[in-house]
Amino acid sequence: MAKVTELSQLDMNGSYSYADYLTWRLDQTVELIKGKIFTMSPSPNVKHQRISRNLFKPIVNYMADKRCEVFSAPFDVKLYDRRKSKLSDREVFSVVQPDLCVICDKNKLTEQGCDGAPDWIIEVLSPGNNKKELRFKYDLYQESGVGEYWLVFPYERAVQQFVLDRDGEAYRLHALYAGDETAQPYLLPELKIDLAEVFAE
């Protein structure tokens, strides 16, 4: 089988597993969502990088003596229906690279990344993100059991905070934060994040 080094070698309408993904040697970063290939935006711009870094700092400082860990992209997160036990790479059809994710269960960490849903995912939107991708990711994170999901809007200087309901079935919008407010993760309420510092130029 020929080594896959170019997207043009793949069927963009085909369905692929994580096992397939591991064999690819692409220059371009891609994600798999339910078997479908999604190309990621070109390298994040300066604003995106600053916001991601400014979010990472208070989280990693807070985690210094905690059981949870925070990871930043590129970092593979394998996702599947939370009602299923761990699956083989051939049985997993979704792998994403969130900007930031917090994982409290060390058993989910592998050599490649995270096997199963992180406790908290943060995505910083880029101009290249499309509505279809956002909708698919929202549904995927919800179905996989990601407890908390933040969408960060760099140009609007705003954050949407979604939290799984008590039954763990559906997200509810827990809070909307503006750029000068203090945001608090639902899962880690002692952590306070000053959004004025996050969005600072």
Question: Which of 187, 135, 180 is CA-nearest to residue 161?
Answer: 187
Could you list the pLDDT tens digit for every one of the 201 residues in the chain?
578 999 999 999 999 999 999 999 998 889 999 999 998 876 678 999 999 999 999 999 999 999 999 999 999 999 998 777 677 889 999 999 999 999 999 999 999 899 999 999 999 998 777 677 789 999 999 999 999 999 999 999 999 999 999 888 899 999 999 989 999 999 999 999 999 999 998
Query: Which two three-digit tokens encode residue 97?
Result: 């690279």
**Strands 94-96 and 76-79, bridge-based pairing:** antiparallel
How much is the pLDDT for 43?
66
In a domain, 1, yes or no: no
Task: Kindly report the CATH number assigned to the domain that includes residue 32.
Answer: 3.90.1570.10
* Nearest CA-CA partner of 153 in 134, 112, 125: 125
Query: Is 132 domain-assigned?
Result: yes
Asked if residue 63 is part of any domain, the answer here is yes
Q: Is 26 inside a domain boundary?
A: yes
Q: What is the pLDDT of residue 88?
A: 84
Residue with tokens 């979010």: 55
Q: What is the pLDDT of residue 166?
A: 86
Please report, for residues 9, 34, 85, 88, 159, the alpha-carbon distance to residue 144 in angstroms, rounded to integers and kept in the order given: 30, 11, 11, 16, 22
* Residue 86 forms part of a structural domain: yes
Tell whether 2 is covered by a domain: no
Q: Is 173 exposed, middle or buried (0-12, 13-18, 19+ CB in 10 A)?
A: exposed
Query: Residue 85: its pLDDT value, please?
Result: 64
Domain of 44, in residue numbers: 7-198
- Quote the distance between the C-alpha of residue 41 and its chain's center: 14
- Check the CA dihedral 2-41-115-62 and report its sign: positive
> Global pTM?
0.93
Domain count, the chain: 1
Helix H or strand E segment including 33:
strand 30-33
Any domain includes 23: yes
